[in-house]
Amino acid sequence: MISHGDKVYIRQNNNASFIPGEKYIIYRTIEHAINKKTKDTVGFQHYLTGILEITEKHPDFSVAKVVQSFRSIAVNDLLMPYQPLSKKILITENKKELEGSIIGSEEKSTIIGDSAIAFIDRGSQDGVMPGQYYSIYYQEKKRLDPKSKKYTLLSKVDFGTLFVLRTEQTTSTVLITRTEKSIQPGAAICSPME
């Protein structure tokens, strides 16, 4: 178990040149993110575990100090350059008529609730940007006439809200800000419902 303040040794790959004072995000790749409806691979989840700063460089390895840990850091976790993000995200006008779904939560929970970090299957190529709000909804089909085999699609029921924190090309990281019932991967999202 590696955590805040610990000294770590870094094995350099691909002629990486670490410079003392540089910071890196520590992460591990969990698994493919899969769209529950289409069964297509949407991307890969990078599970962020902390931030480290390079303190020494040697010919075959570097030494670093963990300056922040988000959760337990493991041997063989990976590094990517640290890019500081603003602590403020300005509210932005949402994309009209957007439809999508929740891929899953950061912690791989089967039930997602308030204040959870989750991922959606829409990104910058779909017009999604940090600072936007979207609705989480469900929509049922019912047979209105018991004698008929025809199903009617009922109105959408808004039961939650999410806020976009970060976008990639085809996916986004979001914060669940409100939910009236538990959310499961595959839940539908849309532009805010009036």
- Report the run of H or E that residue 138 belongs to, with start and end: strand 133-138
- Answer yes or no: is pLDDT of 163 > 90: yes
pLDDT at 99: 96
Using 50, 70 and 90 to split pLDDT, how confident is the model at 62?
very high
- Which residue would you say has higher pLDDT here, 82 or 37? 82
pLDDT of residue 133: 97
Which range among 83-87, 116-120, 155-159, 180-184 shows the weakest confidence by mean pLDDT?
83-87
Q: How confident is the model at residue 33 (pLDDT cuts 50, 70, 90)?
A: low
At 25 the pLDDT is: 94
Which pLDDT score is estimated for 37?
67
What is the model's pTM? 0.80
What's the pLDDT score for residue 5? 92
Q: Which residue carries 């993000």 as its tokens?
A: 85
Which of the two residues, 10 and 15, has the higher pLDDT score? 10
Question: 80 near 27, Cβ under 8 Å?
Answer: yes
Mean pLDDT, rounded, for 8-29 = 87
For the cut 70, the answer to whether the pLDDT of residue 138 exceeds it is yes
In degrees and rounded to multiples of 5, residue 167 shows phi and psi of: -125, 150
Rounded to an integer, the average pLDDT of 163-192 is: 94
Decide if pLDDT at 13 tops 80: no
CA 93, 96, 98, 102 dihedral sign is positive
In sequence order, the 6+-apart residues with CB closer than 8 A to the CB of 177 are 114, 115, 133, 161, 162, 163
